[in-house]
Chain A
Amino acid sequence: MEQKLMKGNEAIAEAAIRAGLKFYAGYPITPQTELPEYLAKHMEKSGGTFIQAESEISAINMVYGAAGAGIRAMTSSSSPGISLKQEGISYIVGSELPCVIVNVMRTGPGLGGIHPSQSDYFQAVKGGGHGDYKMLVLAPNSVQEMYDFTIDAFDIADKYRNPVMILADGILGQMMEAVNLYTPATEKFDKSWATTGTYKKRKHNIINSLYIKPEESETLNKRLQAKYKIMAQNEQRVEIINPDADIMLVAFGIVARVAKQVLDDAKSQNLSVGLIRPLTVWPFPSKAFKTAAKAYLTIELNSGQMVEDVRLEVNGRAPVHFLGKMGGKVLTVDDIMAKLKQIAGA
């Protein structure tokens, strides 16, 4: 297998091309800009279209058009740009179009900063745009996973006719690691709903999210909710280390890497610590929380967002603690160890 040293942003771009990406529109924003740069250079060779759009808003709507035309489409941005895309995402969900959206998170609110953050968790997993909807949200924590998850994302999107988000952060986008490159076998998905021209052989297809009659709107919403239920049953992904430990750390993305490092230190200090790492933050991996842990410690680069989902899953069976960091610095092993000792001592 071909191995390459790549940035996380580049790995997503390369994986997308190999997964059959044929349309990309985006807009430059740090720390994800290497992704469109890579596609600008390499997409045409694979017969795809790259457009630097006039705005994030235009980019997501171009993706709507391309996805509606039945081809694999993607956009990417970082936090403020993802906010701009929310209306378009809501339309894409409402029209049941498959596409991949990448958010390489930076700090907020507002222009925030360009350093890594996980403060768009709520926006990604609870909605973000208007209406009742869900996206499947994948949370990689290495450059290899940026690659692997992107390949999976296109299939999941096509399978459910629903957008899939890759939720990364500035470090994962910028860091370089060795990546094993491979080209997936292309699965065929039914796209008979796409607006490819009737050729007078069928009734016209309509890509639309407007259902002005309450009954029709309710029907759409019920269909979407039924779909989310199936997704929640079938698509939970999680990595669990030491499931029988007394204290379970819960972390996703880059913080989970630091948490893994903590496990070794904790062992040497006779602390029984494990890790639950959601690979899908929606659907949240509820099955992972059927443990007998005496306490949970959720670690995030925000003020405490995923911890709410952890509390829902633990449902009072054990205390759920939180350790967060805002502003762009990443929690260190020492930070986490100090908190663990505090919890273990209490």
Chain B
Amino acid sequence: MPLKFKKPDSLTDIAMHYCPGCTHGIIHRLVANAIDTLGIEGKTVGIASVGCSVFAYNYFTCDMQQASHGRAPAVATGVKRSLPDRIVFTYQGDGDLAAIGTAEIVHAAARGENITVIFVNNAIYGMTGGQMAPTTLNGQVTLTSPYGRRQQEGHPVRMSEMLSTLDGARYIERVSVHNPAHIIKAGKSIIKAFEMQLRGEGFSMIEVLSTCPTNLKMSPVKALKWVENNMIPFYPLGIIKDGSVKV
């Protein structure tokens, strides 16, 4: 019988440490699939960040660097400017990209660095165990917003919209992995972002709405529903900025 479905070549055989129901595994797979599809595994350098995806360097077969918290876009800048013909991506969570690393992502986008950013937004801190993220929704209860997120905790940040105002940002899209149709769509968007980098078009970011059943304290299925019913209304899906060269 012909093989219909297999692990992408760009993923290693190491068992992932992610919790049951976590969508990091799916997003890793989409990134690896994009690398396979474009045949760029050998010349890709990935930058892992700090957060649950810190061990991403173990899971991709391409060369990897692990960046300090929030600094992945700066590290990626160092790699890409040193080796301009390599493909460089960062894989960052919401705490990493939208809180401690705000300056780095803003200025990498402003410089129009020719890199691809995979931004995983699950509205909560996973690695440290369920604290408020910069993208935690208004009213959402976390360990550090026990009364629900209010004015004094600050309002959630829509990074994609914010970054889209920068001239250096060429392609920004928000996708979700809460059901198979959206997973397929997300995969296509990630491929497009890498293709743009291959063509030297500049900064691209794919924001992926994701789940953290453990810290949302929900079953995996309920967490997917929560993304659909609560996150998507606040973080609308779709292309936010498209400055790509039409091919």
Contact = CB atoms under 8 A, between A and B. Distances in A.
A–B in direct contact per CB < 8 Å: yes
A65 B42 contact: no
Interface in A282-300: none
A21 to B, nearest CB: 11
Interface stretch (A7-15, A197-205, A217-225): A197-205
Interface size class, chain B: 35 or more
Interface stretch (B21-29, B54-62, B229-237): B54-62
Contacts of A66: 78-79, 81-82
B45 A195 contact: yes
Contacts of B74: 25, 53, 57-59, 61-62, 64-65
A206 B75 CA distance: 13
B60 A88 contact: no
A55 interface: yes
A45 B95 CA distance: 39
Nearest to A72: B82
A91 interface: yes
Given A54-B103, A63-B78, A64-B78, A204 B60 contact: yes
Interface stretch (A30-38, A166-174, A207-215, A330-338): A207-215
A71 interface: yes
B66 A197 contact: no
B77 interface: yes
A136 B65 CA distance: 24
15 contacts: A23-B81, A58-B107, A64-B67, A66-B79, A69-B82, A70-B82, A88-B68, A196-B63, A197-B63, A200-B41, A201-B42, A208-B65, A209-B66, A210-B55, A210-B66
Interface of A: 22-23, 25, 49, 51, 53-55, 57-59, 61-71, 73, 87-88, 91, 95, 195-201, 204-210
Given A62-B77, A66-B79, A197-B42, 20 more contacts: A49-B81, A51-B77, A51-B81, A53-B74, A53-B107, A55-B103, A57-B71, A58-B74, A61-B74, A62-B74, A64-B65, A65-B77, A69-B78, A71-B82, A88-B71, A195-B65, A200-B42, A204-B60, A204-B62, A207-B64
